[in-house]
Amino acid sequence: MPTVTTKTPVIEIRDLHKSYGALEVLKGVDITAPAGHVVSLIGSSGSGKSTLLRCCNLLEDSQKGEVIFDGEPVRWRGEGLHRHPADREQMIRIRTNLSMVFQQFNLWAHMTILQNVMEAPVHVLKRDKAEVEAAARRYLEKVGIGDKCEAYPAQLSGGQQQRAAIARALCMEPKALLFDEPTSALDPELEQEVVKVIKDLAAEGRTMLLVTHDMRLANDVSDHVVFLHKGRIEEEGDPKSLFGSPKTERLQQFLSATVSA
C-alpha cells in the first residue's frame, strides 16, 4: 500500500452537511483521499455513503462545509438549501476529473461498448477521436473485455457491463475514481470479475473513493476505511485495525451482522 504523502490531497471534504428538506443525511463529515490512496466508505443502508460520494462529485448540492479538489475549494453561492456551485466551468472540470462508476451500469443501449467508452472523451473533453478510440480499446482490454468492442450492452452479462462502465470511467483519464456499490447489482460469480478489476486498479496506485458492502474488498484494497452511521463518521482507520479490532459497539454490531449475512 502507498505510504502517507504530504502532497495536496486529491479529494478533501470538511464538515460536510447535506439535507433533503428537513431530513439531514450528512451531519458534518470529514474525508481526505491522498493521491494514490483508496478510501472505502462502509455502513448500513441509509448511513449517507452514496450521498457523500455524490456530493463529492457535485452531483448533489451540500448545505454546509467545504469540497476541495486537488487543493481547489469549490466556490458556492447562496446558503443552506439554496447553496449551489457558483462557477459552472469549475464544476464541470471537477466532475470530469472525478469519474464515477454507479451501481447500475448506465450504458447507452443504442451504442456499442466501444462507442459508450468513447462518448464523453470525444464530445465532452473534445479529444481527438482516433486517440480516444485507441485509449478506449486499451482500457477495454485492461478490464478483460477487449473482444466486446462491437457488442451492445444487452449482449453482455452484468459483470461485463460493469467492467465496460469502469473502462468508460478510465477513458476520461481522471485524477480519481468514485465507485458507488459497483458490485451490489451482480450475482456472486459476476461480482468477482469486477472485484478483480478494482483490485488491479488499487494495485496500480489509483486514487479511489469506494462505497461498498463487500467487507473483504474494502479490507483488501483500502488504505483507509470510514464507517458511517446515521450521517456521521462513527469510526475510521486502516483496514487492519478497523476490521481486526473495532473500537465502537456500533461497528462491532455492523461487522457481526455483515459476516453472518
Q: pLDDT for 106-154, tens place per residue? A: 999 999 999 999 999 999 999 999 999 999 999 999 999 999 999 999 9
How many residues would you count in the chain? 261
Q: pLDDT for 212-226, tens place per residue? A: 999 999 999 999 999
CA distances from 183 to 115, 142, 165, 191 (A): 23, 18, 12, 5
In the chain, where are the structural domains located? 11-110+176-260
For the record, the C-alpha cell of 124 comes out as 465532452
Mean pLDDT of 170-177: 96
CATH superfamily of 11-110+176-260: P-loop containing nucleotide triphosphate hydrolases (3.40.50.300)
- Per-residue buried b or exposed e for 139-160, using 16+ beta carbons within 10 Å of the residue's own CB: bbebbbbeebbeebbeebebbb
CA distance 99 to 182: 13
